[in-house]
Amino acid sequence: MTLYIFFFFLPLTGHLTFVLYLFCFPNSQPLCPPQYAQTVPLPEKSSLSEAPKSEKTPPKPIVLLWFWPENFRFSFSDCKTLMDIDGCSLTDDRSLYSEADAVLIFHKSIKHDSSNLPPSPRPPAQRWIWFHVESPTNTIKIPGLENLFNLTLSYRLDSDILVRYQLFVRETPEEHFEMPRKDKLVCWIVSNNNPYTGTGLRTKYFNELRKYIKITLFGKAYGSFLKYEDYYPTISSCKFYLAFENSIHRDYITEKFNAPLAAGTVPVVLGPPRQNYENFAPSNAFIHVDDFPTPKELAEYLLRLDKDDNLYRSYFQWRRHLEAKPHFVLQNQEFIKPICTACDYIGKHNEYRAPTNIYKWYFS
């Protein structure tokens, strides 16, 4: 402002102003003329640059978690400590509803009459995120949700907010891969259903396959319940791991596939076609059941690999340049990744998004 006063008065008062200017710089001196310039309207730009520079960063957008999925709670600070995500302010405090920039709504917790959705009126600039990680087979179509959600969060590659386990390019190639010690041939951890009596495709396949090759089972259903800390070591100790999905859908390739890749084991996959798996992992990182006309022939191939170490090792070549990271296995950590990923997204995006017809999209 001092400079501005100077140029403004220079034509009128000439040298005197110049002397005063030098004397008055900084202009707290008692001899200085009154600050006439205060009455002169300043161009907007210069008044902006005069504003005291704030040290504070702008407030982070608020993301309101409307339901705790399956009631598995964690501390929101885990996003920073476990995933290095800090781009939003996460809360489960519903009294912040009208201020929230986005609301994260877990599909499975919505009541069939949708009476437990956030209330009307909905803040006009607020985005709602449809949060769903089950396959379409295991999705209940709750009526009335078709045009409420601006953003989708799921495993599907074409979701707005993508949550899945992916391979990463290594910064430096892995020079030597120490093969974990193996004392079992084929393993399968089944958490829910009884694999002998189920009706799905994977049960049928398993019951055929086990006629020709030994399969070691783990899971609640037969008393060999695995402790969380034994999850990765157990998978590592098997040559092959059955990564059988509970239903067959595009992109529905879950942590069952990530686990053996991260543990140093070869996944044998049953799910969408091989081509879809190859969107997520190199072709020689896994064995697909569709590569064989029958379960018997798959079993024969696995037995052959068991004898041929060079061929078996070729399934680990991808590791030189790529890396699979272990996912969280504790139950109450299951939703950390999707919730933190939503926070990260909202911290980086504020575009308008017209509502999506979620069912038309999800069941397509």
Ligand X SMILES: *[C@@H]1O[C@H](CO)[C@@H](O)[C@H](O)[C@H]1NC(C)=O
Which residues belong to the active site? 134
**Shortest distance, CB of residue 354 to ligand X, whole angstroms?**
7
Q: Which is nearer to ligand X, 167 or 342 (CB)?
A: 342
Residue 315: CA atoms inside 13 Å, Cβ hemisphere, count?
Answer: 22
CB of 353 to ligand X, least distance (A): 4
Question: How near is the Cβ of 2 to ligand X at its closest, in Å?
Answer: 45
Tally Cβ neighbours within 10 Å of residue 231. 18
81/147 with CB nearer ligand X: 147
DSSP label at residue 91: E
Identity of the residue, 130 or 218, whose beta carbon is nearer to ligand X in the bound complex: 130
- Report the SS3 class of residue 100: coil
Q: Which residues have a Cβ under 8 Å from the Cβ of 234 and sit 6 or more positions away?
A: 187, 189, 218, 226
Calculate Rg over the CA atoms of the chain.
Answer: 30
**Closest distance to ligand X from the beta carbon of 37 (Å):** 43
* Among the listed residues 288, 313, 309, 306, the one whose alpha carbon sits nearest the alpha carbon of residue 298: 288
By C-beta, is 118 or 219 nearer to ligand X? Answer: 118
Instruction: Please identify, using beta-carbon distances, which residue of 270 and 358 lies nearer to ligand X.
Output: 358
Is residue 264 a contact partner of residue 179, using CB atoms and an 8 Å limit? yes
CB of 160 to ligand X, least distance (A): 11
User: Residue 233, CB half-sphere, CA atoms under 13 Å: how many?
Assistant: 5
Applying CB under 6 A, which residues contact ligand X? 125, 127, 147-148, 150, 352-353, 355
Q: How many CB atoms lie within 10 A of CB 352?
A: 7
Rounded Cα distance between 192 and 198, Å, is: 10
